[in-house]
A and B are shown apart, each in its own frame.
Chain A
Amino acid sequence: MSGIVVEHLGKSFVLRDGKRFVALDDVSLTAADGEFCCLVGPSGCGKSTVLNIIASLVTPDSGSIRFSSGAGKTRIGYVFQKSRLLPWKSVRDNLALALAGAGVRRDEFASRIQHYLAMMGLERFAGEYPAALSGGMQQRVAIARAIAIEPDILLMDEPFGALDEFTARAARRHLLRIWEETHKTILFVTHNAFEAAYMADRVMLFTAHPGRLVRTVTVDVPRSERAIDEPRLLAVQKEILATLGLE
């Protein structure tokens, strides 16, 4: 387990027409060990870029990232917007490849895969190819893959963005249950203000052009009182939208 300290990240890209696009302008943020943080903002605000820099998929122009896990390499689990499962591998083998990449001992594979598929309610589908599963189930496999490596930090980039609202609601509840069991540090990117208010301990608000972190909102509602019609959550949602200039 690990917290994160991100300091003064800057990243810009050069577009095809030669113009510079500032994805991140001096972004600093922290996530405590075991905290559920949501990054919210319009597209182009750099929220996904933050995740990609933390996952070392993108190199920042400036700034630094520190993990509080101390010694050793910080293990990162990533859930993408699309499941990104290998379609020619069974659900079981998709998880096994991630375990191999994380250096898990081979004789532990079976029990780990069994455990995390069961956690996502997928134990019956271990032998299936992803194409045989619905979109929501594929995304659950992707989550199982990310938590099966028992990461210090879980990055989630609009993981429910491609799901219909019914499936997404069930998936959110499911994710919260698992988070309460495992207490992973989660950075969760979304552009859905209610989703952020419903799930997060803290919500970080980003604006685009250039991508900046403008405000952090703490969601002061105990987990046991978070229903989807809870007025205090709706108030947080409103606050988020107002800050982003959408209301």
Chain B
Amino acid sequence: MALQLLTIRLLSVVSMFLIWAVISWFLPPMLMPNPWVVAHRLWQLCLNGQFWFHAYGTVSRVVIGFALAFIVSIGLGVAMGLRRGVAVMFEAYVLVGLTVPGLCWSVLAIMWFGITEFAPVFAIFVVVLPMLTLNMWQGTKSLDKDLMEMSRTFNFSRRSVLFDVILPQLLPFCLAGARLGFALGWKVVVLSELFGLTSGVGYMINRAFSNYSMADVLAWTLGFTLIMFVLEYVIFLPVERSLVRWRTAAAT
């Protein structure tokens, strides 16, 4: 079964490249270079160090902006789930935050803070925060009331209620939020870099666009997609597996 799933997973990735290859067959290389050419270009960018330099800039901005939003969202979302008043107070903020496009925040951040490292971090923070908060809020609302009652009956300390009863129930929501938040953060940072920064993957894509080099545009996109893949398989999936081990206890 595991082997079968692995085969399907490989097939899924290989099929993407196949579709790409077939399309490139029918289009001129200026519009759609084939995967091999793009992979080769990415390889060159890796060798001359450009890719690592700009990817590092982009990833670090996403990580900082996302981490700040993540921490704030846990406090805010849990408070909204537990206290009706807090929920009513911040509901409108969350809704407005979800509605305003990331593009607006990117532009606003650069107009306010100029070409600084703070601008993209700020933009990521405000775009990701409402989504993460909504997620944690929903998670807190779905807490198991029976277990809360049990913890009261047995006089659990406040600390114990938070760490042993509430947070374990929120972990799946944290993980889902982390995935979505990270993906959203990447979309926003590229916009910020495109508009007003002088480094990062977004900036390089914009430069490739100015030179009308389709191979470069795709090479940068491909490279960053690969980074996201690595993050998913090296960080998120293993963390998820180890955190929900108790759920599969019956199966082992």
Contacts and interface: CB of A to CB of B under 8 A. Distances in A.
A82 B146 contact: yes
Interface residues of A, number: 24
Interface string B156-178: 11001000110010000000000
Interface residues of B, number: 22
B227 interface: no
A103 B154 CA distance: 10
Interface string A125-146: 0001111100000000000010
Interface string A46-70: 0000000001010000000000000
Given A100-B157, A101-B155, A84 B146 contact: yes
Interface string A80-106: 101010111100000001101111000
A117 interface: no
A219 interface: no
B interface SS class: helix
A interface SS class: loop
B207 interface: no
A88 B246 contact: yes
A86 B146 contact: no
Nearest to A90: B246
Contacts, number: 57
B246 A101 contact: no
Nearest to B248: A131
B149 A57 contact: yes
B235 interface: no
B246 A97 contact: no
Contacts of B9: none
Contacts of A101: 151, 154-157, 160
B92 interface: no
Interface of A: 55, 57, 76, 78, 80, 82, 84, 86-89, 97-98, 100-103, 128-132, 145, 149
